[in-house]
Every structure is written in C-alpha cells, then in structure tokens.
C-alpha cells in the first residue's frame, strides 16, 4: 500500500527494529559505522527500501561493488523486488567501462572512474537529481571508506561536507556507511561531526547489534539487527 508521507519526515517503517524510531526528519544525514559483517550496509538498504512504499526515489552511490551487485542486493530488501523504477545508481567502483548494471536499466546508472573521482561522483548525483523531478529522495553511499583511503582525510571531509550540505538544504535523507576498522578513530569522528547522528554496529556471539547517537539516540541500547 502506498501512502503519502509528511513533507518534513521520512518513514522508517519496519527497517529499524525498534519502535522508538519510526521516522527521520527531512534533511537528515546519518553515518552508519560498521564493518562488512556488522550489518551497517544491510540497515542502509533496509531504510532505502522503504522509499517506493511512499512514492520516493532512491540514489545509491557505490564505491566497491558495481551497479549490478548493489542493485541485486538492494532488491532483496524490497517488498516488490521487480519494481525498480524508483532506483538510480552512481557507480564509482573499479569495474571499468564494461559495467554490470544487473536488473537495472543502464539509463539509470551514472559512472565515475573510481572512488577517488569525487568530481565524477558529484556530477553523477547532480544528473540524477535533475532527472528525478521530486524532492523526496533517499541518498545512500556504500561506502565512504574507499574514498577516504584514496583521497585522505582533508579532501574526503571537504567532499562529504558538500554532499551532506546538499542533502540538508534540499530536505533529502542521506545515509553513509564507513568501516571504522579501516581508518583512524579521529577521522571517523570528524565524518560523524558533519552528520546529524550515527548508528554504530557491532557483532557478538549473540549476533549483530546496533545503537544510535545524535538524532537517532532513541535507539539508545544495543539492539539486535536480525
């Protein structure tokens, strides 16, 4: 069932397994801090996948898996996995010119040459924003870590400052994954300072858990993700 969301919020639905958080304010940027096994990117896809239920659009920026890989993973979170009309991708992976777009139409994929090509990433995002024609957009980046590794802290922070500022001013929703095991803790903290809050993830013998900080601190205790 498709519903009309409030203009000032983005519905979370059942993506976050905590009833204390059912929506996020428009213009929110969140950092999802966790490694590949922790569930950080999994939660990102879950929140993005709420978009078609409320007639919103999704832009995914990928710096590791190519467009086909992230599209196939994303569609496993959709209520209707055959419906991808709402999805757009910026592929900044190292897949070269022969990009696999998987089930997604190539016309919905913008390309950057590598994670270090922040100009190309920016142009790709801009082109999608111009073509979408709605202000209700969820932007997810998987992940910031290759950008930070290739460009260093200063240039990554400048890029991230521009991107989060754009999300905030336009009233979009921005979700960004970073792997803390690949960076100095101070660099992750500075990235977080540019956002409105963060989900931090950990994996224990009992499974994957997460908790929120900042604007999502309603998820105050370590909460099972699975």
CB atoms within 10 A of CB 63: 26
pLDDT tens digit at each of 226 positions of the chain = 344 456 799 999 899 988 889 999 999 999 999 999 999 999 999 999 999 999 999 999 999 999 999 999 999 999 999 999 999 999 999 865 557 899 999 999 999 999 999 999 999 999 999 999 889 999 999 999 999 999 999 999 999 999 999 999 999 999 999 999 999 999 999 999 999 999 999 998 889 999 999 999 999 999 999 8
Domain ranges of the chain: 25-214
Residue with tokens 């239920």: 53
Angstrom CA distances, 56 to 5, 73, 221, stand at: 9, 19, 30
Residue 65 phi/psi, 5-degree rounding, is -70, 150
pLDDT at 3: 45
pLDDT at 2: 42
pLDDT at 1: 38
In DSSP notation, the chain reads ---PPPTTEEE-TTSSS-TT--EEETT-EEEEE--TTTTHHHHHHHHHTTGGGGT-EEEEEESSS-HHHHHHHHHTT-SSTT--TTEEEEE-SS--SS---TTS-GGGEEE-SSTT-HHHHHHHHHHHHHHH--S-EEEEEE-SHHHHHHHHHHHHHHHHHHHHHHHHHHT-EEEEEE-GGGS-HHHHHHHHHTSSEEEEEEEETTEEEEEEEETTTTS-S-EE--
pLDDT at 133: 85
Architecture of the domain defined by 25-214: 3-Layer(aba) Sandwich (3.40)
pLDDT at 85: 96
pLDDT at 5: 52
């Amino acid at each position: 069932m498709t519903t009309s969301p409030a203009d000032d919020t983005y519905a979370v639905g059942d993506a976050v397994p905590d009833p204390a958080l059912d929506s996020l304010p428009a213009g929110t940027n969140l950092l999802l801090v966790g490694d590949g096994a922790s569930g950080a990117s999994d939660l990102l896809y879950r929140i993005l996948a709420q978009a078609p239920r409320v007639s919103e659009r999704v832009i995914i920026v990928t710096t590791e898996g190519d467009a086909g890989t992230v599209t196939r993973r994303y569609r496993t979170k959709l209520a209707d996995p055959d419906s991808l009309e709402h999805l757009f991708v910026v592929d900044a992976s190292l897949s070269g010119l022969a990009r696999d777009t998987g089930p997604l139409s190539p016309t919905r994929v913008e390309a950057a040459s590598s994670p270090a090509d922040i100009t190309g990433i920016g142009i790709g995002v801009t082109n999608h924003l111009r073509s979408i024609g709605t202000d209700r957009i969820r932007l997810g980046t998987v992940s910031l870590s290759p950008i930070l590794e290739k460009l260093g802290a200063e240039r990554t922070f400048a890029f991230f400052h521009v991107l989060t500022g754009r999300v905030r001013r336009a009233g979009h929703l921005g979700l960004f994954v970073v792997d803390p095991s690949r960076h100095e803790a101070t660099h992750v903290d500075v990235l977080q300072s540019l956002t409105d809050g963060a989900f931090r993830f950990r994996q224990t013998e009992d499974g994957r858990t997460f908790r929120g900080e900042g604007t999502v601190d309603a998820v105050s205790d370590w909460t099972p993700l699975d």
